[in-house]
Structure 1
Amino acid sequence: MTDFPTAPPQSWRMAPRPIANETEVLKRVTVRLLLEHERPEFDRLLTEKHYLHDWVLTGQSLRYVAELDGHWVALIAFSAASLHLKAREQWIAWSPRQRARRLPFVVNNSRFLVLPERQRYPNLASRVLGLCLRRLSGDWQERWLHPVLVVESFVDESQYRGTCYRACGFAAVGATRGFARASRDFYLPHGQPKQLYLRELRPGARKLLRQARWPAALVALEAKATGPCPFRAPGLASLLDRLGALSDARRGHGLRHRQRFVLACAAVSTLMGACGYRAFENTCKKFTQRQLRALGCQREADDGRYYPPSDTTFQRVLKGVDAAAFAALVGSWLVEQEVGALVQLAVDGKVLRGSGRRDGKPLQLLSAVTHHLRLTLDQIPIAEKSNEIPALKPLLQKVNPPPGVLITADALHCQQESARFITQELGGDYLFGLKGSQSGILDQTQRLLAQQAFSP
């Protein structure tokens, strides 16, 4: 690894010998991570020569230098992605919940400075950017313990054309609205919209970010890298209003947190992937002051700030609440937050682990789950000495999906009464599995499919 140049103020300058062939020059360009003792010079050059005149990066970050024959020719830095970008969210097509959990897998090319004159080496910028992109995910994994799937960058098209980004496979997806983040919860207009460029670092990364089920290798990384709360403050306030209908079993003075605040925190934490009281507490620590206030947190008298509940508070409150009523309220609230959540529903039965009835058999539940986000909207217990078939109708009546909904279920529900209820009473459609155990229906279906004679 090349040592820091002996003359720091001149370290960015090119070797004085003339170079006739740009292709041969670019082959000698290398990229490496910045060394800690090189930070002052790196920051000084960004402050003096980058058009933003600012070296400060946000969140997790990596800094690189590009060298030619031991001399710095470019500086490039990557940092945490922007919290909210309308064009990016439309390009990925992920939900607010998915964005909150997977935003750390998107990084921002926040600074890029080519030191020699661009006219001298017109392809230097794309060469440096390409070399960085090849190693970025691996370096990020080593430093921050998770890979990078997508890279974003902003280009001020009043000064630059974004040619090097296009050359490296970036796509221009839309202009920003011209706002800059002034504090954790507020943005101010600056009147300079920029073009947003996005690029996948691995094939299918965009599809991976929006798909419901992740590969096992990424699930654990997703849980560790979970980002901020996905819901805006107004949506959290509406959840608080609903939970106020539940009675509080706790008694006595000096209660630090109201029950509805604790329940709202538990609900949102669960949607962010938390499982367990300690996980609830750790997840809620990521909420902003505005979000905690919207969830109903009471301000501390000592310092005027809002603080999340502890794990023991979650335990006390959740043990005393009506679980069925709590689930119903959260389910109805989710429908309002996720537009189109009821367009496709899956009905599925599960055995509740660790449960037991008087006959020794475990409790079985039939649940209605959204396809895209796998959110459980409601569930009912299956009666003893029964199965899922008669429970389908009361479950869907509780959910009350809109006309046109598609209900999917396994082969057990391939019954005439279930199909009639979905199509005639709910006004929806069904997609049932069909197995060889129902030989008569299976034979008839195969014959009709071969003839293409069934009604659409």
Structure 2
Amino acid sequence: MSIYAVMSTNGRKRDKPIRAGEIMIRLAKTREFPQWDRLMRKHHKLGFKRFAGRGLRYIVEYQGHWVALSGWQTSSLKLAPRDQWIGWQRGQQWQRLHAIANNTRFAMLYEAGGFPNLGSHVLKVICQRISDDWEEAYGHGLVLVETFVNEKQHQGTMYHAAGWQALGETAGYSRKSGEYTEAHDEVKRILVKSVRRDARRILCQVEDLPLRYQKRGKVSGHSIKALESLYADLSQMRDFRRAQGRKHTLACSFAILILAQLSKFNGCLAAAQFAAALSQDELKAVGGWYNKNTGLYEPPSKSTLHRVIQYTDPEQLQEVLQRYDRECIDHLAAVAGDGKRIRGANRNGESYYETVTLVEHGTGAPKASVSYHRKGEELEATRKLLTQTDICGRLVTLDALHTTHETVGLILDGNAHYMLTLKDNSSLQLDKAKSMRWSSHKVRHYSEDLDKAHGRLEQRHIAVLEVDNPKCFDFTGVRQVFRIERDREVLKEPGSASTETVFGITSVPSEKADAAQLLARNRGHWTVEANHHIRDKTFAEDDGLTRTNNGPVNRAMCNNIALALIIRDNRFDSVPQALRHFNLHRKEAITAIVSAP
């Protein structure tokens, strides 16, 4: 095959045949992505920001020069002409969309007429290789490709020349707030090309897709009822819905919501899209509804997930978290408690939403959580949490707000120890701590090594004094008093050196915790802040659109359960690393939920 290009020699134009072998079509390398993106923005009428989901960037070269670019991404969710042409059912559609790719961008980098026939040749070659390229990049092949042609801009001649088939037109709606609801006059023609001759048959067959075209993470069925697992705990929840018309159980719905969080699909709409992509075996494993008429397991819809998370009693999920913690998470010596406001749920004057969570020191694994809905109820909610949770033998660390007689009594009644900070809300005890003989030879000292991180230098020192007469403090069970000094300096701010001094009390005797251990426990309390940061930034809890009824609290509970599951796995250095892993290996996430630990 020859492609004719109009070349210029000494100012005179002539036709010079270019053999197809002289044209190189290859995938862009990672370091070439910025240049590819920049050129696509410059030469394509629609510009370019990023791919929606997965994508491949192709480069067309002639004599070492880039002459064309082609971009392919995941397929469109709904296209009525395409879906009717394929003939698949709705359940099959959501499970098999991954086997279709969309040619979202094609840009020529030369003047019109420079390389006649190049576009159709490039499309033909890419369609021959894209299934292999997609499989190498994402673990599964493709059976069909699609594209849109706006006939106000071009007629799509190169697609027709490459053998693409026109199916119809789009409905003329653009995306708004996650759904296609805004009408416009840019109707586009839909074109498709089969990568395999039997693409339509494969996409609508009753059997699962051939192994090559299945997403990673396909699992075989599990016997759910026989397992004592997180799923078994979810199955004990009482369903608030009437039995009539109910398809998916609460256990199935919340298992899918948690699985979606583990794959970074945040929110009910994203979770529904995630569920739609599950294979038949995966839906069976999480207890999906079996449709006897079609012989297929069907995923829950967005409205089902939204209703479940809105109206389920949060205390049921709190019980699930506590049972899962008791059965699955290794008990450490200390837990930290603190409250977190769900800011995204209070943007439009809705009710006040906040949770109090107990997390393990060091690991950050959530142990238990409760919610409240009015300002100033954190104290009461924390006391409720302490009475509901097995804290026997543990050290409980709380901030100064909770340095009260009632909280101390609840901790001691639970056969646990406390470590509390003294501030102005307990001014008499703070004055007593300050007036103690810190220059005495009985004082034990310990200093951490100088720490350089986050753009600052920090060093912490602790002085500990054993209390000979516990009655000198009003709080029951005080055995040691400590003073912590934090020296801090911001590296890029000369003169920013500062020292902060904090006093506190603990019921732990000196034979069980020396100065170094107390300083470590004090620092370990900030693990609860790390829990809040992960929920905010990684799970996007504050950005959630579920803002009414029990939705915000239940979403926070699901985040805590997902975090507990990740931490128990004990293979990952960070939560984002775990989410990337579970996104690629869905089988392991499902197994972690439905299998016994």
TM-score (norm 2): 0.40
What displacement does 1:87 show?
0.8
Cα distance per residue 1:210-254 (max 9 Å; x no partner): 0111465348547649xxxxxxxxxxxxxxx995227x9xxxxxx
What displacement does 1:53 show?
1.6
Q: Is 1:34 aligned to residue 28 of structure 2?
A: yes
Query: 1:207 aligns to what SS in structure 2?
Result: helix
Matches within 5 A, 1:61-76: 61-76=55-70
Of 172, 182, 191, 1:197 maps to 191
Distance 1:275 1:83, change over 3 A: closer
What displacement does 1:72 show?
0.4
Conserved 8 A contact 1:22-1:121: no
CA distance in structure 1 between the aligned counterparts of 2:310 and 2:285, rounded to whole angstroms: 18
Of 285, 306, 313, 1:293 maps to 306
Of 118, 125, 149, 2:112 maps to 118
CA distance in structure 2 between the aligned counterparts of 1:151 and 1:180, rounded to whole angstroms: 21
Conserved 8 A contact 2:7-2:15: no
CA distance in structure 2 between the aligned counterparts of 1:192 and 1:149, rounded to whole angstroms: 28
CA distance in structure 1 between the aligned counterparts of 2:249 and 2:558, rounded to whole angstroms: 12
The equivalent residue for 1:245 is 243
CA distance in structure 2 between the aligned counterparts of 1:196 and 1:291, rounded to whole angstroms: 31
Identity of aligned residues (%): 30
CA distance in structure 2 between the aligned counterparts of 1:149 and 1:43, rounded to whole angstroms: 27
What displacement does 1:28 show?
1.3
Runs ≥4 in structure 1, deviation > 3 angstroms?
A: 14-23, 218-225, 259-272, 274-281, 286-291, 294-313
What displacement does 1:159 show?
1.2
The equivalent residue for 1:273 is 280
Conserved 8 A contact 1:80-1:107: yes
What displacement does 1:190 show?
2.6
Cα distance per residue 1:131-177 (max 9 Å; x no partner): 21121110000000000100000011111111111111110100101
The equivalent residue for 1:208 is 202
Of 59, 66, 76, 2:53 maps to 59
Distance 1:98 1:245, change over 3 A: same
Q: Is 1:168 aligned to residue 175 of structure 2?
A: no
Q: Is 1:147 aligned to residue 141 of structure 2?
A: yes
Q: Is 1:49 aligned to residue 43 of structure 2?
A: yes
Counterpart of 2:160, as a letter, is R
Cα distance per residue 1:4-34 (max 9 Å; x no partner): xxxxxxxxxx986688445425441110111
Cα distance per residue 1:282-335 (max 9 Å; x no partner): xxxx9886552145544884443464969999xxxxxxxxxxxxxxxxxxxxxx
CA distance in structure 2 between the aligned counterparts of 1:189 and 1:245, rounded to whole angstroms: 39
CA distance in structure 1 between the aligned counterparts of 2:167 and 2:191, rounded to whole angstroms: 6
Distance 1:179 1:36, change over 3 A: same
Measured on the aligned residues, the alpha-carbon RMSD in Å equals 4.1
Conserved 8 A contact 1:261-1:296: no
Distance 1:153 1:275, change over 3 A: closer
Conserved 8 A contact 2:102-2:146: yes
Q: Which has the higher strand share?
A: 2
5+ long unaligned stretches in structure 2 = 1-5, 220-238, 257-271, 289-298, 315-352, 355-541, 563-597
CA distance in structure 1 between the aligned counterparts of 2:130 and 2:74, rounded to whole angstroms: 13
Cα distance per residue 1:32-67 (max 9 Å; x no partner): 111112122211111122010223211011001000
Q: Give the aligned length.
A: 272
The equivalent residue for 1:400 is none
Conserved 8 A contact 2:53-2:74: yes
Conserved 8 A contact 2:131-2:141: yes
Of 53, 63, 79, 1:85 maps to 79
Conserved 8 A contact 1:153-1:197: yes
The equivalent residue for 1:156 is 150
The structure having more radius of gyration, on CA atoms, is: 2
Query: 2:280 aligns to what SS in structure 1?
Result: coil
Distance 1:263 1:144, change over 3 A: closer
Q: Is 1:100 aligned to residue 101 of structure 2?
A: no
What displacement does 1:191 show?
1.6
5+ long unaligned stretches in structure 1 = 1-13, 226-240, 249-258, 314-456
Matches within 5 A, 1:321-340: none
CA distance in structure 2 between the aligned counterparts of 1:275 and 1:122, rounded to whole angstroms: 48
Counterpart of 2:62, as a letter, is L
The equivalent residue for 1:11 is none
Counterpart of 1:244, as a letter, is R
Counterpart of 1:140, as a letter, is W
Cα distance per residue 1:86-109 (max 9 Å; x no partner): 011011010110001100000100
What displacement does 1:120 show?
2.6
Distance 1:289 1:208, change over 3 A: closer
Query: 1:116 aligns to what SS in structure 2?
Result: coil
The equivalent residue for 1:188 is 182
